[in-house]
């Protein structure tokens, strides 16, 4: 099974972009990652077992490419997160605070929270994508939630 790239772009482009942006914190880099992911799909020789296999493979490739992008000299010497957040618009102050808190999480917590809550992957699927154990995913989710809870609690208590 190997659907055309046009079908996959239409179906998964926004999901891959969200995952890439979550890691890169930069719109242009996220777009590059998505494009490179689909280019790699075109050159991938093997077939896929199912639609879920394709989706998981695309996410895994996007995550790896985003990690590689973050390890370049220019990314390590880029502007701070606060400068990027100022350019984004949010529906409410709470959604802005939540986004900022999620983006400040360590990468290993940020990516599992993104995959679980925004991409609707199960713990086992996330474990397969990240190549870690399901219990490790649960620990990362728990620690990420705890960190978000503490961060947001402090922010909201300061507002009162």
pLDDT score of 125 more than 70: yes
Ramachandran sector of residue 37 (left: φ over 0; alpha: ψ -120 to 50; beta: rest)? alpha
pLDDT score of 61 more than 70: yes
For range 20-30, the mean pLDDT: 86
* Topology adopted by domain 1-78: Rna Polymerase Sigma Factor; Chain: A (1.10.1740)
52-61, Cβ contacts within 8 angstroms, sequence gap of 24 or more: 52/125, 54/1, 54/3, 54/8, 55/12, 55/15, 56/125, 56/128, 56/129, 58/8, 58/12, 58/16, 59/15, 59/16, 59/19, 59/115, 59/119, 59/129, 60/129, 61/37
pLDDT score of 159 more than 70: no
What pLDDT digit, counting tens, does each position of 88-119 carry?
666 777 777 777 787 888 888 988 988 888 78
Residue ranges per structural domain of the chain:
1-78, 81-160
Q: What are phi and psi of 17, to 5 degrees?
A: -60, -45
Token pair in block for residue 48: 């896929």
Q: What is the CATH number of domain 81-160?
A: 1.10.10.10
Q: What is the pTM of this model?
A: 0.57
């Amino acid at each position: 099974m190997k659907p055309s790239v046009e079908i996959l772009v239409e179906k998964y482009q926004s999901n891959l972009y969200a995952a890439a942006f979550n890691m890169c914190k930069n719109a242009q880099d996220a777009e590059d990652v998505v494009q490179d992911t689909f280019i790699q799909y075109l050159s991938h020789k093997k077939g896929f077992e199912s639609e879920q296999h394709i989706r998981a493979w695309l996410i895994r490739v996007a995550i790896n490419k985003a990690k590689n992008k973050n390890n370049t000299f220019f990314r390590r010497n880029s502007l701070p997160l606060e400068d990027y957040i100022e350019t984004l618009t949010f529906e409410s102050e709470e959604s802005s605070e939540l986004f900022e808190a999620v983006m400040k999480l360590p990468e290993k917590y940020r990516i599992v929270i993104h995959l679980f809550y925004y991409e609707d992957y199960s713990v086992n699927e996330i474990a397969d994508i990240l190549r870690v154990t399901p219990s490790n995913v649960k620990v990362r989710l728990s620690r990420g939630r705890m960190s978000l809870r503490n961060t947001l609690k402090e922010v909201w208590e300061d507002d009162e």
